[in-house]
Structure 1
């Protein structure tokens, strides 16, 4: 059965080739895991824990939990990566990360195991002087026509919001500012403007310090589950297992104040 076929632009994989490549990649990752495990058994070292987390999460709690583990394990070494969710998932699947803290993928990904941590509620936020703060029980139609500051088009959050608007029969969103990285500093652009954005439960207190507050509108479809993600059947060091325990105990949501 051929694995390759000629193409005007070169050689491409056949369907069988794609299947073989996927299996070969899994074998390579399992081999790498086995080597890491044997090395640690031989040397007694904790090794390096490679952790990724989404910048839309509560980094204070994440870093606080990591700090607690470092105090517990003085020999521990970490490599921390902060990226948007889609990049973290790619790195996890490719074996470049051991653990990822991020929104749980939907639909589920067969290559990834998930430990749910908590539910995170997303809010439509605006400058404290925005006229929509004077209204209560806002509907989607009330905010859809406003200018928006949103993540890039290929992000899950952006896709969910645009789908929600489209299914409600409303015009496409007016995206005035598009961002490729999620950072609280981006929300400074909302100050003194009519632009709206999306903030999570964990960011509301710090957004309030910027003069950015949640509007009185509920968008249930934008609720998301946050989880601890690992590659299926991957070897987890004792260090990774301990951090997983600490995160599961620490990452519990609290209700935000209006």
Structure 2
């Protein structure tokens, strides 16, 4: 078996950075623009990396590039290396100034309106100079950012068990409700059936989300197609404003709307649909002191949430 010699001086960190950009952008042009280099420079670096590994990392096509099985595998390792270097730099900086630091948190709806703000408020009383950067995105996009070290942890719905790369820590269980504005024709109605909702406009989460697939299953089991009049988004600011200004129906985690008196639950149970909210972390990465501190704050807040907010599981 041929084993590439990756420590003989030929492999550079710029190769790993380029590989990450190529995998995300899907084109050499896009990766070159992101890294502020010319396309010939990016192409030459890719060829160098393929020569070092002695395999083809991407298939070239008219619409861009597609990772081969070798490209997918090595990209994962490249991102792990880059993430460790990013964390090493932060760790050293925090040791030099223990009162400061930066934590980048990814979030996708669940946990974003109550758990995360409360945890940030709590940790800021202890470490006021800690900078916390919150990034919203789809679960898939945030997972890529996590693996590459651009995000330290993700807060949101847990849709898979832990594995050798990703650790998932459950904090609490949460139900999903159908909601409308309080002046909606369905607000306060009893005996609501799914058929009663079919003619209204809907807001659905993106097709890549687990909640979307569960809602599709709900409609299919009841013999209805997905609402034709719909908006697809995971942006809560967009969802909330549309709820307040139109007759849309949305499926949201129960805590998202609990503290907004302008939004109310539709009397139609979605009992099969619910989820666990928790932390998604890199399994093999040494976390910085600041990240550890925020994780402790998140865990304390989740544990201390009253049963009026959500059922906490231990």
Q: TM-score, normalised by structure 2?
A: 0.67
Q: 2:168 aligned with 1:117, yes or no? A: no
* Match for residue 239 of structure 2 among 186, 193, 197: 186
* Match for residue 272 of structure 2 among 221, 225, 228: 221
1:129–1:192 CA contact under 8 A, matched in 2:
no
Unaligned runs of 5+ in 1: none
* Structure 1 residue matching 2:229: 3-state secondary structure: strand
Superposed displacement of residue 93, structure 1? 1.8
Quick check: which has more Rg, 1 or 2? Answer: 2
After TM superposition, the structure 1 stretch with the greater mean CA deviation from structure 2, 236-245 or 31-40, is 31-40
Equivalent in the alignment of 2:69: 15
Residues 23 and 203 (structure 1), Cα distance of their counterparts in 2 relative to 1, 3 Å cut: closer
RMSD value over aligned CA atoms? Answer: 3.2
Equivalent in the alignment of 1:24: 78
CA distance in 1, matches of 2:129, 2:186: 52
Equivalent pairs counted in the alignment come to: 253
CA distance in 1, matches of 2:244, 2:71: 53
CA distance in 1, matches of 2:259, 2:184: 18
Q: Which has the higher strand share?
A: 1
Equivalent in the alignment of 2:154: 100
CA distance in 1, matches of 2:247, 2:67: 50
Equivalent in the alignment of 2:8: none
Unaligned runs of 5+ in 2: 3-53
Residues 14 and 191 (structure 1), Cα distance of their counterparts in 2 relative to 1, 3 Å cut: closer
1:113–1:229 CA contact under 8 A, matched in 2:
yes
Which structure has more relative contact order (CA 8 Å, sep 6+)? It is 1
Residues 96 and 138 (structure 1), Cα distance of their counterparts in 2 relative to 1, 3 Å cut: same
Equivalent in the alignment of 1:62: 116
* Match for residue 197 of structure 1 among 221, 246, 250: 250
After TM superposition, the structure 1 stretch with the greater mean CA deviation from structure 2, 236-245 or 173-182, is 173-182
1:119–1:253 CA contact under 8 A, matched in 2:
no
| CA deviation string 1:158-203 (max 9, x = no partner) | 23211221233322223333335222x5334334754211232223
1:124–1:198 CA contact under 8 A, matched in 2:
yes
